[in-house]
Every structure is written in C-alpha cells, then in structure tokens.
Amino acid sequence: MFGGEMKQSRVTLRDIADTVGTSISTVSLALRDDARVSEKLRRTIQNTAAELGYKVDLLGSMMRSNTPHVLGVVGRFDQELHAHYIRLLGEEARLRGYQLVAENAAAYEHMSEAFKTLAQFRITTTIAINPDPDDHNESSENGPSVVIGQERVFPHADLMTSRNESGAEELAEHLDTLGHRSIVYFDGEPGVSAQSRREAVIAACHRHRIRVDTVAAGATMDAGFTAASRLMADQWAQRRQRTRRTDGGRLGDYSALVGYNDHCIQGAAVALMGAGVRIPTDISLAGFDNSQVAQSTTFNLTSVDRGVRKIATIALDRAIERITHPDLDGITIGVDSHLVIRTSTGRAFYLNDSTPILFPSRNPPTDDSVGRATCEH
C-alpha cells in the first residue's frame, strides 16, 4: 500500500506526517495521546503509524531530549510491597505522560549498581524503594532523587516515609476496645524499619495499658510459622508446670498476636490453625502493609495500611519536579498509616469463655519490661 521502499527502512515521524498530511510535531503529540490534538486526528495518526509499522524509539527520544519524560525506579521484584509500589508508580507516571523504567535491585549486590545501569540509558531521575545503608556508595553520582522508605540513606534525596505511629495507635485503640490486655509482637529483621515499627507498637500499646512482649521472627511467611510454632511449644511447656490449668488461653495470657508485616502473620496463622487454635476466638491476629494476603478472603486479616498509593503519588510528583530542578534540597514527607479492620481480630478470649480464669492485669508494663521486650529480638 505504501511502497516497498518505506517497508525496508525504519518508519519515522516524518513518514507518518507525510502520509497523513500534517506536521511532525502534531504526529509526535498524537502518538503520546495528547489532548491538544483532536480525537479524530489522533486516531488517524495512530492508525496510520500502526499500518506503517512504526515503533517508538524510546532510547533515541531520550538521547535527543534535554528533559526526557522518562523516570527510573529501583526495587526488589520479589517483594510484594515493592512490586505494588512499582505498579502504582507506573500508573501515576502514565497519567502524567511519563514512562517508568524499573530495575530489579535483587539482581545486583548493591542497589547503587542498578542506578548505574539506568544512568547508562540517561535515566538519571530515579526513585529507590527501601534501600539499605549498604546501598549508599559515596563515590557514586547516580544515586536516587527520591527514596521511599524509613531511613535517609541518600542525604540529598527526598524521603517519602510512612508514619507507623498513626496506624499503631489505631491498632492499639482497636485492641483495647476488644478487651485485650496482653499481646505478643513478632518482630522483623534487625534494621531501621523494624525498629521504627516495633517502637511505635509498644508505645501505642503502653498508652492503652496493653502489655507487649516481643519475639524475634522476620518478614517472611516461614519466619512467622517458625516463631508461632516455638511460641506455642513454650506456652505448652509453661502450662505443664502450673498447678492451675485454667489460668490463660491457648497461648497463655496472650490474647492477640501482632506481626511486623502481613506475610509474617500469614505464616503464624497457618501454624496456629494447624494446632487447632481458633482465630479470632482463641487469639486475634493483626499485621502491617494491608497486602493482598490481608485483603484475601482466605485470611481476611486486620492490617495497618501504610498509605502506599498516596506515597507513590507524592514520590512521583517530586521526581518529576526534580527532572527540571535536580539541585533541589532533599525534604522528608511523612504519610499517616491507618488501620483496616477485618475478621481476624475479635474480643479477647477471656470475654468469650465462661470458664473462670485468671484475668490478665490491666496495669501497664513498667519501663523496664518495655525495654526488655524491645531487646528480645
């Protein structure tokens, strides 16, 4: 239809413009679905481009533009929260007419190497998801412009962080309302993120006069399963040494279990249900992240939503601003987390059981006991 010569060479914007009878700039706008071109003309140009076999030369476009509409993001594709951030960032980028190129941090020893890879494609405005302190290379000039996480690993980057305190407060209030007075917290792997969340949970529960004991666990399903299995074994051994068999529930005085994240609680739930523990009749469960696991009908888990969508939106807007203003001072923006209540939390077991038992003390933990709980990981 359009001649053999055109088929043998790469189709250009000029080829499309000549075929349609319009300008190259109009073709460029239409192919980006820009509303400044009428819908009828946009469809004509887009259909013509498809018939000619036009393919977007994204790399060439980046090389030619001083302000390319391309952003990079580095995260671990094997972590659900990171993948969720990447998906949301991609959605927000497309709404603003930008392309998002994602690099898998899990493929590198340090995240800084992923930044260098993106920089080789002239993608210098990047967003990093939860980098570790080891990811900061002082000699590197390819660090991120925006960081999503709990720690300022890169001094000159903007930090978008989720405030654990607000969600932890709502969780403690919820447990208090349900009559819980003694809970166990499954801690995450040692680090700033785990420390921040643990301290927020303990402080909020302390304000509501709820005792918290901390158990070392982790961020995976296997870690939660192992920690719950050991906890049940320890509680069973302790009960065998007591003269009164009615003083406590299936997990002693603990009426609720809160985890560092939803995956940890998912593993704990499997272990508990496998031992015949009823949720939430015998013990209530709650996690953090409001992940797909928490939202599933299988687990229907009460969880603290960390404001992921809002953080993604703010992070992207800040990254776009930094394309034209790369020397902006780094700022920190915190987003409140909030509790999403589901069926995994209910009244404390001693409010559901008519058997006389030793009611857990409402007295708040002492400062010493809080300190011990914090250090038991």
- Strand 338-340 relative to strand 302-305: parallel, antiparallel, unpaired? antiparallel
* CB-count burial class (<10 Å; 0-12, 13-18, 19+) for 7: exposed
Domain 164-305 = CATH 3.40.50.2300 = yes
**Lowest mean per-residue pLDDT among 3-7, 197-201, 302-306, 353-357:** 3-7
Q: CA 139, CA 137: separation in Å to the nearest integer?
A: 5
Evaluate if residue 356 carries a pLDDT over 80: no
Under a CB-based contact definition with an 8 Å cutoff, are residues 115 and 75 in contact?
no
70-162+309-337 and 164-305 have identical folds: yes
Distances (CA, A) of 142 to 68, 113, 127, 227: 17, 9, 11, 40
> Within a 13 Å sphere around the CA of 71, how many CA atoms are in the beta-carbon half?
30
Among 172, 169, 188, residue whose Cα is nearest residue 180: 172
pLDDT band at 62 (very low <50, low <70, confident <90, very high): low
- State the pLDDT at residue 317: 95
Mean pLDDT of the chain: 85
182 versus 329: which is more confidently predicted?
182
Hey, what CATH class is 70-162+309-337 in? alpha beta
Evaluate if residue 241 carries a pLDDT over 70: no
Percent of the chain with pLDDT over 90: 59
Task: Say how many C-beta atoms besides its own lie within 10 A of residue 296's C-beta.
Answer: 13
Q: CA 126, CA 146: separation in Å to the nearest integer?
A: 7
**Start-end of H helices in the chain:** 4-8, 13-20, 24-31, 39-52, 58-64, 80-95, 111-120, 164-177, 192-207, 221-240, 262-274, 292-295, 308-324, 367-375
- Strand 182-187 relative to strand 70-75: parallel, antiparallel, unpaired? unpaired
Evaluate if residue 139 carries a pLDDT over 50: no
> What does the domain layout of the chain look like in residue ranges?
13-56, 70-162+309-337, 164-305
Evaluate if residue 7 carries a pLDDT over 50: no
- State the pLDDT at residue 367: 43
Under a CB-based contact definition with an 8 Å cutoff, are residues 172 and 205 in contact?
yes
